[in-house]
Amino acid sequence: MHGLIVFDFDNTLVHSKIDFAGIRRDLLALFRQNGVPEAVDDRLVNLSIGQIIDAGVAHDAATHDAAWQIVLEYETDGMLHATIEPGAAATLHALRDAGFCLSVLTNNARPATLAALDLFEMRAAFDLILTRDEVPMKPDPKGITHSMETFSIGPERTVMIGDSWLDGTAAERAGVPFVGFRPRPGVLDERGVAYWTVVDELSALQPLLTGPWPQSGHRPA
């Protein structure tokens, strides 16, 4: 067995068309209405969605259900218009044939994730499916460490693939290499995220991962 590959989901394997800007806008409006100081002065704008909710709920626990309902509604709508990344299914099956265990780790809810995996007939490609309903949201590394524990594979033979600084930060915290998939230009360096390399096509993963692995990720200067 070559090792373990942990894949991000949205904007890596599928494009769900989730309006993340809309989620942030509505969450900030909710927390402003409830007097959350960090929302009033926009200190939450650059945080992840999970971090925004954590900060708002810490100030007013009564906003918890309303905040997550906002996210769920946007996710559900986004999945109605989902498309698959070209080459996703072929890449997953090629990596499985090469002997890798495959895990998918997403900050989306499980029902929406499973619906998209089934829509594009990708569920069977994965040995493990982890969503925010099972593990803490990225950049928390628990989803990666849980995957390693499940398959008894160490960090030296585990890699995280994703488009976001959240994926890269989770990988770094778990002590595993990170491969950026078409991230926003400059964002990994801006965030100080260590990475092995960046690829623009999923088809580039098999030759990369069946070759030599790095001791650690590239760390921007």
114-147 confidence digits (pLDDT tens): 988 998 999 999 999 999 999 999 999 999 999 9
Which domains are seen in the chain, by residue range?
3-15+84-209 (3.40.50.1000), 20-79 (no CATH)
- Residues sharing a CB contact under 8 Å with residue 185, sequence separation 6 or more, in sequence order: none
Contact call for residues 50 and 64 (beta carbons, < 8 A): no
| Mean of pLDDT values over 27-40 | 83
In the predicted structure, residue 49 carries a pLDDT above the cut 80: yes
pLDDT in tens, 78-100: 877 889 999 999 999 999 999 99
Q: Are 143 and 133 in contact (CB under 8 A)?
A: no
Overall average pLDDT of the 26-45 stretch: 80
pLDDT of residue 65: 92
Tokens of 40: 């009033």
Beta bridge partners of 110: none
Q: What average pLDDT score do residues 155-176 get?
A: 96
* pLDDT of the residue at 217: 54
Radius of gyration of the chain (CA): 17
Report pLDDT for 77.
86
Q: Are 9 and 34 in contact (CB under 8 A)?
A: no
DSSP result, the chain: --EEEEE--BTTTEE----HHHHHHHHHHHHHHTT-HHHHTTTTTTS-HHHHHHHHHHH-GGGHHHHHHHHHHHHHHHHTT-EEPTTHHHHHHHHHHTTEEEEEE-SS-HHHHHHHHHHTT-GGG-SEEE-TTTSPPTTSTHHHHHHHHHHT--GGGEEEEESSHHHHHHHHHHT--EEEESPPTTHHHHHT--BSEEESSGGGHHHHHTSPPPSS-B---
Count other Cβ atoms within 10 Å, centred on residue 100.
23
